[in-house]
Amino acid sequence: MAGAGTLGLALGFYAQPVHLVQLSPVNGLMEFLVALAAAGAIGLAAWRRARWRWPLLGVAALVGVSLFVWLDSSAGHTYLPNSAGYYKLLRPTAPGADKALVEAYNAGLEARNAIAKENGLPLAQPITALTDLKGGIPAEAAAQGYRILFPAQLQYGAFAVFVLGGLVLGAGLLQLRNPSLQEAGDLRAGVVLAVVFSLLLPAFDATEFNLAKLVKGWPFLVQFGEKSWPPLLADPSTNRFPLQEVLSFMAITVEIALVGTFLAAIFALPTSFLAARNLTGGSPLMRGIFYFMRAFYNVDRGIDTLILALVLVAAVGLGPFAGVLAMAIHSIADLGKLYSEAIENVDKGPIEALESTGTAGVNVLRWAILPQVLPLLVSYTIYRFEINFRVSIILGFVGAGGIGFFIQGAMAAGQYNQMIIGVIAIVIVVNLIDFASSWLRSRLV
């Protein structure tokens, strides 16, 4: 029924003629949804903690109400002006509104044509209906919320609506014919899927997903391929040796990843012991250090390597040094988190055996913990190097050295037959590193 209803409503909507509508803002809805999401997140986290459930639910309600009041206030709209009336409803226009807009457009036509004539632009003609504008509604009318709908052009998510409606209808018919396909959790799964798709549809619209643009730009891709092949490996007559440059830049890229990973591992190893829950529960001081280290990891992981590289390039200048620093700083948190989780999962038997003999502190780490986690730590470090190599390619595009810097320069100069050498080199080296990394990690773990 849901599928048939969706298809029926869609067919009714898309069969309508071109008509004028007006957007009516729904004040407070965006603010309410944001506050509800914040309160819901805290509430879900609180529900799993039986001891603190009701106090935390009270905090969630307080946070939600406070956030809504602030967002819906003049202060909230000052900092977040787009949130006011973000969601809008389509409603029919008053009788005669389209006629009034046509008259207003024609009345200002002389002034607009005078400006167009001065700039050598084609002159606009009087209109008899807003549909003569092909959707280009006057700015004055658009500011008042007026829009022209063209349902017959199958815009406004028509493809997604018909596909989803057809899938729901087909699934329902299959279950009617074969009741054994029905399960107890079908309704719950359907609600979850409906929520997911309700989030995906506006996301596709916001990202301007349009395959027609790809089809339109296909000739450029063909032209790009023609200009890229065959690669120009060397041209002694103009003293250009792209292959040699690519090899040099590729070596720098590998070295950036190598040094950045090494520095990160050096700092991540000692801090990971302080971020391991099973090693920091002895006193309030150690528990405080644990929370501090976890907070540091979370903040550090939240700052992307590319952002760090942009800041460090401005601080230390162009070159691989900025890339190494950015990569090391960001990788400390990633490696530290992996290291600490490995330490938390060690077997307690060797630790208890050593502690029963009076051994404590560094000796327990050296003889009971490190032997268990060392293969994992090395494996994580190798895997991080594999990731950092790919990241170091992108860092070159912001001036942090490496093969990305060469590719950016070649593309900016239109030297596609040289740029393609860098792309081929990346593909080869990435596969070699992946193979070597997988082999080494399989031997260690």
- Alpha helix locations (H) across 81-127? 97-107, 109-118
| Low pLDDT (below 50) residues in the chain | none
> Concatenated DSSP letters for 311-368?
HHHHHH-SSHHHHHHHHHHHHHHHHHHHHHHHHHTS-HHHHHHHHHTT--THHHIIII
pLDDT of residue 347: 66
Closest CA to 416 of 142, 222, 187, 159: 222
Phi, psi dihedrals of residue 91, rounded to the nearest 5°: -135, 155
Residues near 428 by beta carbon (within 8 Å), at least 6 away in sequence: none
pLDDT of residue 444: 62
Rounded CA separation 320/395 (Å):
9
Closest CA to 37 of 195, 185, 206: 195
* pLDDT tens digit sequence for 185-237: 666 666 777 677 767 777 776 777 777 777 888 888 887 777 778 877 777 77
Q: Where are the domains of the chain?
A: 236-444
Read off the DSSP letter of residue 397: G
Question: Strand order in 19-25's β-sheet?
Answer: 88-92, 19-25, 146-149
pLDDT of residue 177: 65
Closest CA to 171 of 156, 154, 193: 193
| Amino acid letter, residue 47 | W
| Inter-residue contact 423 to 403 (CB < 8 Å) | no
pLDDT of residue 207: 73
> Concatenated DSSP letters for 403-435?
HHHHHHHHHHTT-HHHHHHHHHHHHHHHHHHHH
Closest CA to 393 of 243, 253, 251: 253
CATH 1.10.3720.10 fits 236-444, yes or no: yes
Looking up tokens 């389209």 gives 98
pLDDT of residue 127: 73
Read off the DSSP letter of residue 235: B
